[in-house]
Amino acid sequence: MSEPKAILVIGAGDATGGAIARRFAREGYIACVTRRSGDKLEPLLQRIRDDGGQAHGFGSDARKEEEMISLVGKIEREIAPIEVAVFNIGANVRFDIAETTARVYFKVWEMACFSGFLMGREVAKAMLPRGRGTILFTGATASLRGREGFAAFAGAKHALRALAQSMARELWPKGIHVAHPVIDGAIDTEFIRSNFPTRYALKERQGILSPDSIADAYWQLHQQPRDAWTFETELRPWIEGW
Amino acid sequence: MSEPKAILVIGAGDATGGAIARRFAREGYIACVTRRSGDKLEPLLQRIRDDGGQAHGFGSDARKEEEMISLVGKIEREIAPIEVAVFNIGANVRFDIAETTARVYFKVWEMACFSGFLMGREVAKAMLPRGRGTILFTGATASLRGREGFAAFAGAKHALRALAQSMARELWPKGIHVAHPVIDGAIDTEFIRSNFPTRYALKERQGILSPDSIADAYWQLHQQPRDAWTFETELRPWIEGW
Amino acid sequence: MSEPKAILVIGAGDATGGAIARRFAREGYIACVTRRSGDKLEPLLQRIRDDGGQAHGFGSDARKEEEMISLVGKIEREIAPIEVAVFNIGANVRFDIAETTARVYFKVWEMACFSGFLMGREVAKAMLPRGRGTILFTGATASLRGREGFAAFAGAKHALRALAQSMARELWPKGIHVAHPVIDGAIDTEFIRSNFPTRYALKERQGILSPDSIADAYWQLHQQPRDAWTFETELRPWIEGW
Amino acid sequence: MSEPKAILVIGAGDATGGAIARRFAREGYIACVTRRSGDKLEPLLQRIRDDGGQAHGFGSDARKEEEMISLVGKIEREIAPIEVAVFNIGANVRFDIAETTARVYFKVWEMACFSGFLMGREVAKAMLPRGRGTILFTGATASLRGREGFAAFAGAKHALRALAQSMARELWPKGIHVAHPVIDGAIDTEFIRSNFPTRYALKERQGILSPDSIADAYWQLHQQPRDAWTFETELRPWIEGW
């Protein structure tokens, strides 16, 4: 890679966002990773640097328009053109409809969808003049089905998918590859380990998704030649029911 | 109908909401109709009363939690139990992604989705103790596809569909029929007449949807016996491409 | 109804086909019903006549092109124009893939799909010059999902859905209403009573579909004005999981 | 690769099947390719060998159960275990419904679906005792939508998708990766070059799918670790409408 290129990962607080950042850093991309409290990004930044990569961490609230504009502008001006952007914020909560407060319903949408819109729009603006780039929105089972108790989460994920689809139809013919990989299963995270030990035990049989496997799939999406682009694909452990 | 029963139509500002209210009023339901400026409801209320029906109009901002809570409470206490609730607010706008402001993106979601959540939750709370009721969310083509330029509108409609689906899975087994009819085509409205005259000319051949036909379909959904309920159905003119 | 009109029901051997024939006969349609052994149709014909309707039974193998051509021709010439045609043959079998014989795979497709193609094409030919008519193909859960063990059945039902969709796109603009109602749940039939008694016990709570409810839905589809036609809809008991 | 492994490509008559065979041969797989007239396979076999790969050609009618059984048995016994099987036979024809003969309807299904069932079942039987393997069924736009004029083709492709889905649900937990990549656009073939020159001209802008790009995607599917398998994905040129 002759020219420096950046990957922006919004929501690198979890295992998946981190693995994606590391994967692209390994290929020479400058990893620009964000989460709400930037200091928690240190271990990830260190790990990327230990592997010989370049990384920058940003404490940034993805729900704030000004912060997103400023973040994208700063990276573009001071670090490198954003060649790849990944939106990876989830907000999986479960409530009966009568127990779903307006605050929760709004917050889930704001985090898991509105932030994605802000990122998508800002990086699209930066990529359009270059006629090149990849924008990946992480989907989930709830992107496709509204299960009982998931009115808020499924609403946000459905809306994010609509955003991705609408952007893909507009931006593909302008050279920007927008895609929506759907992660359909539990991921190997601290959250699953602590809260769903039985599920986590499936890890021994490769029954939960490894963040590294997800990162490989994201890398492949970015590598696709433009005569054969994927908009939607799905990743699911072999023993997962669907 | 021995006991008085009410139908609540949120968004009776357009032809469709009005036709639904009139249809149910004709069957003996007390029509409770809302739009932001209540005084614009007068012609509709008058027409229902002229046909021998009962009607109440409410100026109410469906996006405000307190107003929705107060509206549903007032109808339940002072008028009649809400047997049917219809959410019928749209917000169809088209913008390229780079031109979509955060304000527009939020406003469209707030009107076309968040309001639906507020209505759905409040009427569900009222219906649950009775173990009976019908909740209908009006869908559109954009509920199923994110077309170019419709990131905001398709996002709101996708999220509304997820809400309806999630509520249906939770509330059907509790006796409440939640459904999501998808209107896939232009409706015979003043808006279409003024802005899309060529399209409107199809009316002569029944090429655009009549609000009365939509109202009949909503009535049929409400009449379904619980051994054969529909969640999703679609209405489309015979000459519409799809 | 001034002019005599016929409804053709292919596969009136089960409760659903019979209920549909009776429903339309009650509205004045001449019921033309088929199954492989025509003599088994006697009770149905008698019941329709007892209710004051007209009915004709035909022993006919729907998989044979000549028989289908001859059947449709005979009804059109000797009885009345076919205004409505309903394809209602299923063939629900379950086998692991390794146990699915080529014979079974072919037979299931031949019965549940190829017969539907023959009926659809022949009635379309009769209806096209009149620019009017309704063609209904009965769908099932397997029309939309290929569950484990249902490679043959889901294959046939998926193909039947594709047929219905393709015909709808071609024939709607020519005045012929093709639709695909999806029955998603157990139906109140002798088969369910004998083989799934626990399921059948749900009948007391309206937990399985009544053939009469299905017949009402088919009647409503046929009655739709052409400005608001439905292609796909679904019928499911209130307590059914999905 | 220590042990010899075979890839079976049913329908290597076109550019895509050939490119897939070459791709896997390059990775060390012994390419076993079929088409109805085996002698037409010579150029492909020669090209693979010139590239240093191993290849075997078989003239085999995929619609004949005995031929499929014999083919799979022969490869397994005499060449190598079939590690990957690809079903790649299409039969894209367009007819109005009234012009679709029973013969065409059957033939299209037999070629594009029934052959796939035979291949799928036979290779599954061989793979099951090993608890390992990849089976790929090539999908198309018509796998998901029944367009006007494509009752036969869409029927076959829908049924093939149902087969793939049903097999995936059964065989994934037994270690066999079944997937259904959907090719949504024109492919760079002699057929497109001769019949759709305007379309073909898009090749200069990478506006039609390259068989090599498809082959890369198939290779990646086969390489996926089992904690993150894909069932359905889609490949589409960047300027394709959808």
> Any idea what DSSP says for residue B238?
T
Is B41 a residue whose pLDDT tops 80? yes
Residue B14 pLDDT class (50, 70, 90 cuts): confident
> Which stretches in chain C have pLDDT values below 70?
1
Q: What is the ipTM of this complex?
A: 0.97
Predicted confidence at residue B90, as pLDDT, reads: 85
Spatial separation of the C-alpha atoms in residues A223 and A207, rounded to whole Å: 27
CB A23 within 8 A of CB A7: no
What are D217's two structure tokens?
Answer: 């995607």
Q: Where are the alpha helices (DSSP H) in C131-204?
A: 151-171, 190-195, 197-200
Angle at which helices B151-171 and A151-171 cross, to 10°: 150
Per-residue pLDDT at A13? 77
CA distances, D48 to each of A228, D29, D42, D43, D74 (Å): 23, 11, 10, 9, 21
Share of chain C above pLDDT 70, in %: 99
Nearest CA in chain C to B242: C169
Q: How far apart are CA D103 and CA D109, in angstroms?
A: 10
Q: What are A1-26's pLDDT values in tens digits?
A: 569 999 999 999 779 999 999 999 99
pLDDT-derived band at D92 (thresholds 50, 70, 90) equals: confident
Burial of B79 (0-12, 13-18, 19+ CB in 10 A): middle
Q: What is the pLDDT of residue A90?
A: 85
Residue C21 corresponds to which amino acid?
A
pLDDT tier, B227 (very low <50, low <70, confident <90, very high otherwise)? very high
pLDDT category, D187, cuts 50, 70, 90?
A: very high
Question: Is the pLDDT score of B1 beyond 60?
Answer: no
pTM: predicted TM-score of the whole model, two decimal places: 0.97
How near does any CA of chain D get to the CA of C236, in Å?
21
Residue-wise pLDDT for B152-192, tens only, equals: 999 999 999 999 999 999 999 999 999 999 999 999 998 89
Asked if B210 contacts C228 with a C-beta cutoff of 8 angstroms, the reply is yes
C114 → closest Cβ in D106, D124, D166: D106
Token representation of residue D128: 């099951």
pLDDT band at residue A91 using 50, 70 and 90 as cut-offs: confident
* pLDDT for B229: 98
Each residue of D41-79: pLDDT tens digit? Answer: 999 999 999 999 999 999 999 999 999 999 999 999 999
How near does any CA of chain D get to the CA of C195, in Å?
Answer: 24
Give pLDDT tens digits for A45-76.
Answer: 999 999 999 999 999 999 999 999 999 999 99
Looking at beta carbons, which residues of chain B come within 8 Å of A100? 117, 121
**Res B13: pLDDT:** 77
* pLDDT at residue D236 greater than cutoff 70: yes
Q: Is B228 in CB contact (< 8 Å) with chain A?
A: no
Chosen from B125, B143, B163, B180 to mutate, greatest number of chain A CBs within 10 A: B163
Test mutation, D94, D130, D158, chain C, max C CBs within 10 A: D158
CA dihedral D92, C146, B147, D212 (to 10 degrees): -50
Mean pLDDT of chain A: 96
Beta strands in B67-138 (DSSP E): 82-87, 133-137
Per-residue model confidence (pLDDT) at position C91 = 83
What gap in Å lies between CA A89 and CA A117, rounded to an integer?
Answer: 12
Task: Tell me which DSSP letter residue C29 carries.
Answer: P
Q: Which residues of B touch C229 (CB under 8 A)?
A: 235-238
Q: Residue C117: its chain D contacts at CB < 8 A?
A: 100, 102, 105, 151, 155
Indicate whether D14 pLDDT > 90: no
CB contact at 8 A, A111 and A153: no
Each residue's pLDDT tens digit, B75-118 = 999 999 999 999 999 888 999 999 999 999 999 999 999 999 99
How many CB pairs below 8 A link C and D? 133
**Closest residue of chain D to A184, computed from CA coordinates:** D228
* Cα-to-chain-centroid distance, residue C48: 18
**For D108-120, what is each residue's pLDDT tens digit?**
999 999 999 999 9
